[in-house]
Structure 1
Amino acid sequence: MPHGEYLRYVALGDSQTEGLGDGNDTVGLRGFADRFAEHLAAVNPGLRYANLAVRGRVAGQVRAEQLGPALALRPDLATVVAGVNDLLRPRFDAAEVAGHLEEMFAALTAAGAHVVTLTFPDVGKIAPLARPLRSRVFDLNTRIRAAAARHGVTVAETARHAVTTDPRLWTADRLHASPLGHERIAAALAQAVHLPGSDDAWTRPLPPQTVPSGRQAAAAELRWAAAFLAPWLGRRLRGRSSGDGRTAKRPQLLPLSASPVSPVDAERREFP
């Protein structure tokens, strides 16, 4: 299939792919996968798109819960983005996480899909308190590149561009991309698959902004830890996840303009 001619796009992943940080659960989530689908649909009006991602999922859960349904949809293009939730856990094993990703790469490419993934930016530059996790990010990125090379998977190298750690590309929780961040990720994916009309504009830095003083930066770190880090740790200690009880927002391949039907709505239509 020539570059850019895709008609069945399926996205697998966690909260970033679901779209957290770009909209909300009341008005709806957009996110980089939706935005990438918009790029694809502009070139291929017949595109159908499914998003199987669920927030809070670690790589093993993405493989166990989403790979089978994704294969059943017979995509010609798939994005696989997972691993950040693993990075944040005490017992992180880069080889195990990369192994789950590689299983998905292998299965989807064997089924005829063009698979696209990405590398993760330096978390220590986004959240200074997370600097101890930097080596994990670098290790996982190296393994993602190697696994992708073994299976002909395209890698959008977001890790290699300084703009991806600009705080304006992240929400206040520093874990999820902002609308601008999701926009840039979608543009990176479009360029990675050589979509007509795509370019490297997503790599360019934003206009300079005022740098906070040391005291302001320290105060911001404390606010972040209290507002976001502490609640996250609390959920982990209780064995809970933000994705508990949630299902994919767009489990079926539908034209981009079509709204997905929830399982509850589907049941109501079948049994009025």
Structure 2
Amino acid sequence: MRTVRFVALGDSLTEGVGDPVGEAWRGWAALLADGLAEQPGEVEFTNLAVSGAQSRDVLERQTPAGLALNPDVVSVVIGVNDTLRCTFDIQAVAARLDEVYAAFTAQGATLLTACLPDPGAMLGLPGALARPLARRQRAVNTVVHALSERYGAVHLHAAEGAWIMDRAIWSADRLHPGERGHRQLALRFHALLTEEGVASGVAPSPEPEFPAPNRSASLLWLATAGTGWVVRRCTDLLPQLLRLAADEMRHRARGTSARLDLSASHAVSMALASLSVQQEQPDAA
């Protein structure tokens, strides 16, 4: 049987943060890889995901490396870090994802995508801080949904639902799954790939292999590595997030909050319309 080549692109979620094995991260993609073929040795798995990556990093750095591996299956799960930056631009995110999806599907790879929950809700931020992030994540998810359909991707709905909101599947930082959460992602992707006739191996077990970290270990992680993670992301996000929150409160006081939602929806529509026009132009030539 021919070896199945699986390449994973993305950020810390796909890198495996929250699912430590020894001194390294494992994560949902590695768990999924073992179930793509009848024998684990029949799968060549390469994880190109890097913590902190944005859609630009996936397009400019990870995609060329991934294309060179000529994968049979490729996962592209990205977008949360884009929403956490002051440079957030849904039109740019859409254009980058469109280019990445197109490149891999043109090679004949099975494309895996996912929509994700908004970080504000997972962190339990106050409403005025959470709503702008939720609006951004909804925009990214809308784009991912539309492009996944356009390119025939195997798409996992991981933005909402009882399973994704279960606190037991999340790690101490509330932004990354723990081992149980990574296993749920792998299990659900495996089920979708089995339906498509792509996965032929045994499904990943939903039960953790290692005991969950106790409260002391979780607090220690937050006080060390977790603090550094927050500081790096707050450097450029926090000032803008505070401005977004102030804007949110002004609109709420005036009763015009709906304008912010309409503006975000319009930006998404314009981004997708722009991609449609670009696709039509080569055909018209």
- Asked whether the two chains share a fold, i.e. TM above 0.5, the reply is yes
TM-score (norm 2): 0.66
- Name the structure 2 match of 1:175: 175
**SS of alignment partner, residue 78 of structure 1:** strand
Moved more, 138-147 or 120-129: 120-129
Q: Distance between the aligned counterparts of 1:136 and 1:84, measured in 2?
A: 9
Equivalents in 2 of 1:42, 1:34: separation in Å?
15
Equivalence for 1:270: none
- Residue range with higher mean Cα deviation, 173-182 or 70-79: 173-182
Identity %: 36
Q: Give, in whole Å, the separation in 2 of the partners of 1:197 and 1:44.
A: 8
Unaligned runs of 5+ in 2: 207-222, 238-285
Q: Does the CA contact (< 8 Å) of 2:36 and 2:201 recur in 1? A: no
Partner residue, 2:79: 83
Please show how residues 31-110 of structure 1 align to structure 2 within 5 Å. 31-42=27-38, 45-110=41-106
Does structure 1 conserve the Cα–Cα contact (< 8 Å) formed by 2:37 and 2:200?
A: no
- Which residue pairs with 2:157 in the alignment? 157
Letter in 1 for 2:186: A
Give RMSD over aligned pairs: 2.8
Quick one: distance in 2 between partners of 1:105 and 1:122?
22
TM-aligned CA deviation for residue 125 of structure 1: 3.3
Q: How does 1:1-272 map to 2 (within 5 A)?
A: 7-23=4-20, 27-42=23-38, 45-129=41-125, 131-132=130-131, 133-194=133-194, 195-196=199-200, 227=227, 231-236=231-236
Deviation at 1:179, TM superposition (A): 0.8
Does the 8 Å contact 2:36/2:200 carry over to 1?
no
Q: Structure 1 residues 43 and 141 mapped into 2: Cα distance closer, same or farther (>3 Å)?
A: farther
Alpha-carbon distance change, 35 to 74 in structure 1, aligned in 2, over 3 angstroms: same
Aligned to 1:219: none
- Please report the TM-score for the alignment, with normalisation by the length of structure 1: 0.69
**SS of 2:49's equivalent?**
coil
Q: Which whole-Å CA distance do the structure 1 matches of 2:230 and 2:76 have between them?
A: 29
CA contact (8 A) 1:35 1:183 kept: yes
CA distance change for structure 1 residues 166 and 81 in 2, over 3 Å: closer, same or farther?
A: same
Measured in 2, the distance between the counterparts of 1:198 and 1:41 equals 8
SS at match of 1:40: coil
Name the CA distance, whole Å, in 2 between partners of 1:55 and 1:135.
23
CA-to-aligned-CA distance 1:215-254 (integer Å, 9 cap, x gap): xxxxxxxx9xx947852345548xxxxxxxxxxxxxxxxx
Higher helix share: 2
- In the alignment of these two chains, the number of paired residues is 210
Whether the 8 Å CA contact 1:124–1:134 is kept in 2: the answer is: yes
Tell whether the 8 Å contact from 1:156 to 1:188 is kept in structure 2 after alignment.
yes
Partner of residue 209, structure 1: none
Larger Rg: 2
- Structure 1 residue 90: Cα displacement: 2.2
